[in-house]
């Protein structure tokens, strides 16, 4: 039988053990918390979009005879940057049958041989510090002697940016307004030269759909504003662009 003294000793030992366990538990919890705090991920810094003042500017209208070399000269595009401008020129439109190829398309003075009569539309995008400009389009008119170099009116050397004159404000020498965009024109940007040419404003050789603001093909291609679905077209319910595209309307990828 345990004596009173022995019982008190055992109780003291038990209390001591419980105290040691309690202290160890607190210390472990603190260490665990430190580890958890150390492994908390640090959020990434927000990505800032770079911006510099940069712009591609349309060059003057160029006129050549078929078979001649057409040279474009960019002298007005700019970027507020210590870096030198980088150039990227490309055709957005060539006359049917033309095999023209741009030479020196990454310089300020590209050139090509105008091998077919008509209008060539040449796009320029400039860049610096990884930032690219909006595009600008320059017009090149190729004619055959004795035609007027740029069609009915003398546009040689004038800006390819049509709205710099066709703005509804400037007037001709006879006092009449220089024709602006008509009120019933379809919804587009003011980059007239993307579709129209000096050879004749109404008959356009090409529609650059980047400058058209309709949300769906059928809003414009409804048989009134532009050619609509043929009467021989198979019965469909989807939008035109599910099969057709803006560069090769007949070559389709059926959906």
Tell me the domains of the chain and their CATH numbers.
52-213 (2.60.40.10), 214-255 (no CATH)
Two tokens, residue 65: 């005879």
Q: Which residue in 232, 223, 191 sits closest to 208, CA to CA?
A: 191
CA distances from 127 to 9, 55, 109, 124 (A): 87, 9, 16, 10
| Cα separation, 116 vs 123, whole angstroms | 19
Two tokens, residue 2: 């345990």
Two tokens, residue 153: 């009116």
> In a 3-state reduction of DSSP, which class is residue 62?
strand
Q: Which residue in 128, 5, 8, 145 sits closest to 63, CA to CA?
A: 145
Q: For each of the chain's 255 residues, which pLDDT tens digit applies?
A: 555 555 566 566 666 666 666 555 555 544 444 444 556 777 776 766 778 999 999 999 999 999 999 999 999 999 999 999 999 999 999 999 999 999 999 999 999 999 999 999 999 999 999 999 999 999 999 999 999 999 888 899 998 998 888 888 898 889 888 888 888 888 888 888 888 888 887 777 878 888 787 777 887 788 877 788 888 888 887 888 788 777 666 666 666
* DSSP β-ladder status, 86-93 and 111-113: unpaired
Cis peptide before 177 (omega within 30 of 0): no
Question: Using an 8 Å Cβ cutoff, are 56 and 135 in contact?
Answer: yes
**Helix/strand/coil percentages in the chain, nearest 5:** 20, 20, 60
Residue 19: per-residue pLDDT = 60
Residue 11: per-residue pLDDT = 64
| Cα separation, 111 vs 187, whole angstroms | 33
Residue 153: per-residue pLDDT = 86
Residue 4: per-residue pLDDT = 56
| Cα separation, 158 vs 151, whole angstroms | 13
Question: Using an 8 Å Cβ cutoff, are 120 and 95 in contact?
Answer: yes
Instruction: Give me the residue label for tokens 């918390």.
Output: 33
Write down the pTM of the prediction.
Answer: 0.71
* DSSP β-ladder status, 136-143 and 62-65: parallel
| Cα separation, 11 vs 113, whole angstroms | 107
Question: Using an 8 Å Cβ cutoff, are 66 and 115 in contact?
Answer: yes
Q: What is the dihedral of CA 132, 136, 138, 139, to 10 degrees?
A: 140
């Amino acid at each position: 039988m345990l004596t009173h003294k022995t019982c008190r000793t055992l109780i003291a030992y038990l209390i001591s053990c419980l105290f040691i366990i309690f202290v160890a538990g607190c210390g472990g919890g603190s260490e665990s918390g430190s580890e958890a705090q150390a492994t908390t991920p640090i959020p990434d810094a927000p990505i800032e979009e770079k911006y510099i003042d940069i712009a591609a500017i349309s060059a003057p209208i160029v006129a050549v005879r078929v078979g001649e070399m057409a040279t474009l000269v960019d002298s007005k595009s700019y970027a507020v940057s210590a870096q030198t401008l980088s150039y990227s020129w490309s055709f957005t439109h060539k006359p049917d049958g033309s095999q023209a190829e741009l030479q020196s398309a990454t310089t300020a003075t590209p050139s090509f041989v105008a091998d077919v009569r008509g209008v060539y539309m040449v796009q320029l995008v400039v860049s610096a510090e990884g930032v690219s400009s909006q595009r600008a389009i320059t017009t090149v008119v190729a004619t055959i002697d004795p035609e007027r170099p740029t069609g009915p009116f003398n546009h040689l050397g004038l800006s390819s940016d049509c709205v710099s004159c066709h703005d509804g404000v400037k007037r001709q020498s006879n006092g009449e307004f220089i024709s602006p965009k008509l009120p019933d024109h379809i919804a587009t940007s003011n980059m007239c030269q993307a579709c129209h040419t000096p050879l004749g404003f109404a008959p356009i050789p090409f529609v650059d759909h980047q400058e058209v603001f309709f949300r769906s093909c059928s809003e414009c291609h409804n048989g009134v504003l532009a050619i609509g679905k043929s009467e021989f077209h198979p019965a469909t319910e989807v939008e035109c662009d599910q099969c057709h595209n803006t560069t090769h309307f007949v070559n389709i990828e059926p959906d």
